[in-house]
Structure 1
Amino acid sequence: MDQETANQLYDVGGKLLFLNAPERLEFGIDYNAWTIGPLFKGVKLIPPGLHFIYFSTTSKEGIQGIRTGFFKYFDTGEIVVREWNPKIEDLYGESELDPSQVERYIINIRDFDRNMGPYPLDPPTYYQRWQHLTNHITPGLVKRILPNNGRVSHLPAVTPAVENEEPEASTTSAAATAAAATPTTTIRDRRKGQGIEKEEGMEFTPFDLRQSFPSGATGDQVTKWSLDKSWLVKDLLQRVYRGDHRLLLGEMQLAFVCLLMAQNFSGFQQWKQIVHLLCSCHEMVHDHPTLFVDFLDTLQQQLEECPVDFFRDILSENNFIASMLKNLRDVIPPSSTALYTKFNKMKQFLSTRFQWELPDQADEDEEEEDDDAPVVVDLENPY
């Protein structure tokens, strides 16, 4: 980057002052990570928008610690101050910093300039990929889902599990109990009788795929909306996402980035829930095809970031992606040209990147017919 461009970006870009960090700390922002030296003081020229800052300590034996980090939505020219606490090998909380000292740091930010690395924008590939992964995530989503200043923690729940009564509706499901719980609560999966650890400070939108019908539903309605999750999608869009499906996709993106960048199990579980939900609709595909065009675009962007072995070992567990995409394929209306085009693009991508073929519905129907066909036995020579 030439000096003129750097000067133009200096006032526009955000700045992260990262003080007193130890040597050999792994420090990263988005797709870029470094092992820092004694002079490192932070990052400058950060493009406005959402970013993930993360770090992990390295032992004397060279063993990497658990990655910890926080999401931060940088406004134009915003300056953020963080300071390392050596006693806990983590950052001080914002409330623990001296406000007057922080203000002095901000006023004299240029004194730190030579020790702040520029956000890598050349070549722009990594930043463009980051934008594609996070384009639906809003500051409000980050604040609601990660209320602890955007922090992603791996600290598990520690208190005993509490048995709860069976839910009457989706808002009182086990997932809802998790969202309402304190950061030190273990929830119990009643289906398996096992405790599920919930990372501290994670408040993803709770919904129960088994409770996908309205309270007081008739038997016919329970059957219909149990097979077709459209009612549940409509309810979530109205009740949680202000009627904007991009916010639902934003939560799907935030969950995936928590998995990809922070190896976060809660993010993985929520991502699977949302994929399952959106691939299990019939009525919504007919009424709102744009939602599913955007969903497939978001899903493909995410799968492009997955290494081949990741897809094979995790995403294809129990044929998850295969079964979900087949569900969606089977309900795409013939009149929805844009959705058909997007789905075929996804099929081609899976074939090219993962060497995994999603068969056409006609081929599957033919196989089923062959399986059901009568068997002809030669009575004269039955063996």
Structure 2
Amino acid sequence: MNLRKNSRDASRQRAQRALAHDRQPRVSLIAIPLALLLTTAVLGKFGVNDLLSAFTFPGRLTGAALVAVAFIALLGTAAVMDHWLWHRFAHSGVVAFFSSFVAFLTNFLLLSELLENADVIGYKVLFGALTIGSAWAVVAVWRTLAVIPTPKRVATALLATVVIALGNFGYQNLYLPSQREVRPTIKLTMEKPVPSNDHKAFSVPVDITLENHSEVSFNVLGTELHAMAQQVSLSPKDRLRRQWRADAEKWETFERTNPLSRRELRQPGQLVEAQPWMRYGEPIGANDTVNARVVVQLPMDTQYDQVAFYASAHLARMDRVSVERLHFKCYSWDSRQVPPCVKQKRDSDSIIYESSLRENNAIDAETRDPRHIDVYWQFGTQGANIMETISTADDRYESQTETNDRYGIRIVETGPVERILWDIKGKK
């Protein structure tokens, strides 16, 4: 009796295993083609958008690659159906396996990118499901693969070699060139001062040259030139070390950084003139040069002994982000739409401009919340400066590192370029 009972139990267990084996292909037959079809649709959408609107050639090449993967995933869907149902193509299992692996690898890489950068939760969930579905497809097809043209170990080694070679090619030829640092330069040149006809004032012409020696274009977020004037006298005897310390304690800003001099007595610099020297929002082309001239006027009997010029330009790399339309927003002294970091600077005022931003690829543009940029043209008695912030509609601000690295904001500065005024004042 016990032998008969054990035989019946074993038969029942074998029947249950067979039934589970029969059910597995039915579940796979629904889930795996669905995952591959969704992969085709989503990657095809991203790929076409990148192919048509990416800012750079690597971006468009990435779009073409996504379109190719979408086509491979679609081919894999048909191969899976033929491998399990139709049996019309002898090597449909091999095609299904390799197509599923390509879809899995692409979905996994995009999921890793989205987990780090995406804001839209739905896309993280979607690519998580697509990654699991395509991984399931790889395992399921591999287990049912009876014949493969070459041994499986050789096929696996070949596939790994191809993946490593493609990754190395993309890193060397696409990623590294996009990360290469490019930064224009600014040069300041002062011309000979020109006295007025009545000899009561004089002007100092200043030539500004911005040179872009790279293959990258830029959008101008803002430019400024400001002149700081100082009174400088000489001490009749050497100054003590504690007086040097007192000078060093005033180095709160670069404009207030005076030399630690043995004899010179310098008063804090005062802003005498500040102005932009390029129109905001204008592009600067690759290998382009921009020239401008500004004129600073002072009275002949000025109390100052020297004047120092500073110039800067804040630019956005056009291969990282598109500044859609930079326009005037408000004044800091006449608006409540000012962030706390600007309100804290009570000794300076700001003219504020804003623009929406578009990122350089369709995936980021689709999966991240829209960003906009605010540009603050700041001025006060201690000098002039430009500052920018990038944020979302709900006031989530990007860090300075993210602003520089992801959005390609570059700050180009020069100065001080100093001019002694004693020879001019001696002619009055």
Q: TM-score range by the shorter chain?
A: under 0.3
Structure of greater Rg: 2
- Structure 1 or 2: more strand by fraction: 2
TM-score by length of 1: 0.24
TM-score by length of 2: 0.22
